[in-house]
Amino acid sequence: MFARKGYLIVLLLVFGCTGPIEERDYEGSITRGLPALAFHLLKSDEPEHLGGIVMSQGDFAELMRRQAQARGLALDENKIQIRSADLAERALRKAKSRLESLRKELDARKFDWTAARLVGVSVKRVGLSRKRVEYDASSTYPHVDIYLAIESKGQSIVVKLDDCFYVNGHRRLADGFVMENDP
């Protein structure tokens, strides 16, 4: 008799605590960070605001310092500054170019950005796994690709934020926007 009561209590706890599964509101729950900023940038089509999500010269310099230190290499600060300035300029140029071509492709498909909503965010750790996992805003894993699942009036797309690095306390885009084939 007692065993049956224990079993019943466990069932009540399991089913009572889980409750109904609700669809996650990504726009409401991810209000900061790279995924939300990138989505709003895509939606608003304002490439002049790319500087807020693309890695800066300071970000690239810090990343280069960490890589050199991890490999036990000597640091030449002048070379780091010159190289990081070049990388930051190229990253911004590439992100702008990729954003413009992505928007043109989606405009040709009649994708309605006014009704677009972010319905999912996932990541793939570069170099570790081919599997995508749900986005975790608190993750400090150094190098990921972020996937934004976006829907608008029955159309679904997936946009990959290619090569995102966690550096200087925030995650930034180092490469650009890529349209994925598998929504």
Domain that holds residue 110: 31-180
Digit-coded pLDDT (tens) for 12-56: 333 333 333 233 344 444 446 899 999 999 998 888 889 889 999
d(CA 33, CA 95): 17
pTM over 0.75: yes
Residue 51 placed within a domain = yes
Order across the sheet with 133-134: list the strands.
133-134, 117-125, 143-152, 155-167, 170-180
Residue 42 placed within a domain = yes
Residue 97 placed within a domain = yes
Average pLDDT, the chain: 83
Q: What is the residue whose two structure tokens read 């002049």?
A: 48
Residue 12 placed within a domain = no
User: Where do runs of H (alpha helix) occur along the chain?
Assistant: 2-18, 26-29, 33-44, 57-71, 77-108
Query: How many structural domains compose the chain?
Result: 1
Please state, for a pLDDT cut of 90, what percent of the chain lies above it: 65
d(CA 98, CA 176): 6
Digit-coded pLDDT (tens) for 91-100: 999 999 999 9
Of the candidates 119, 96, 57, the residue with the CA atom closest to the CA atom of residue 177: 96
Residue 41 placed within a domain = yes
